[in-house]
Amino acid sequence: MSTLTTTPNSETPQSPQNDPSSLMPKKLTRSRPLFDPEIVGRATRQSFVKLNPITLAKNPVMFVVEVGAALTTVLLLRDIFTGAGGIGFSLQISIWLWFTVLFANFAEAMAEARGKAQADNLRKSKTDTPAKRIGPGGKIEQVSSSSLRSGDVVLCDAGDMIPGDGEVTEGIATVDESVITGESAPVIRESGGDRSAVTGGTKVLSDQVKIKITSNP
């Protein structure tokens, strides 16, 4: 009489709690395009607001240009009302000076708006990023980055978003910090030395590191 034996399936289904793929962020925040309509609209409005002499006085060069533009505009209006000649030349000078001031204000406002948008995205990513916290006995549990506290140790693999500011305590990895610095080239972060500090919201591109959180969210 033969005995029927069953071989356990080596591919045991993993529970959602132990499945590493469930710990990965479902959606990464995309960077805004260079000429995002919302940012351009905000910068356009600010370029006129910054014409206020009190505000523009912080930039002496543009302040002098604005004073010159105002003087040429006054002279242009005088020539128009008195019927003097050479109005075309005065008009060109006035237009170019005002264009220079407005363009400088627009460029400055664009930089400020993009910086604010990046800060908002970074703040949102710090709040929404899932984290793999290492508990007692090395057990890994998935938590929200907002629940992390100073002293917690988290594990970050390639493709993970760093859930909070901290120090690398083990391992070495390349990290994309473009959301903060604007630099496209990744940087090396490793334990020990002066290259161990990491910032929440940045992305691990390769390898694996353990990070000790140094500040509460």
pLDDT tens digits, residue range 155-186? 999 999 888 889 999 999 999 988 777 777 89
The residue ranges of every structural domain in the chain are 37-127, 129-213
CB 94 within 8 A of CB 73: yes
Label the pairing between strands 153-157 and 166-176: unpaired
Per-residue pLDDT of the chain (217 residues; tens, 9 = 90+): 444 444 444 444 444 444 444 434 444 444 555 667 877 888 888 889 888 988 888 889 999 999 999 999 998 898 888 877 778 888 999 999 999 999 999 988 888 877 777 766 666 655 567 889 998 888 999 998 888 899 999 999 999 988 888 999 999 999 998 877 777 789 999 988 788 899 888 899 999 999 999 988 7
Domain at 129-213: CATH code: 2.70.150.10
pLDDT of residue 3: 44
Cα three-residue angle 54-60-61, rounded to 5 degrees? 130
This prediction's pTM:
0.47
Grouping H, G, I as helix, E, B as strand and the rest as coil, residue 217 is coil
The residues with which 80 forms a beta bridge, in sequence order, are none
Q: Cα separation of 54 and 56, whole Å?
A: 6
Q: Cα separation of 135 and 153, whole Å?
A: 8
Q: Cα separation of 153 and 200, whole Å?
A: 13
Grouping H, G, I as helix, E, B as strand and the rest as coil, residue 47 is helix
Tokens 């006085």, located at residue: 57
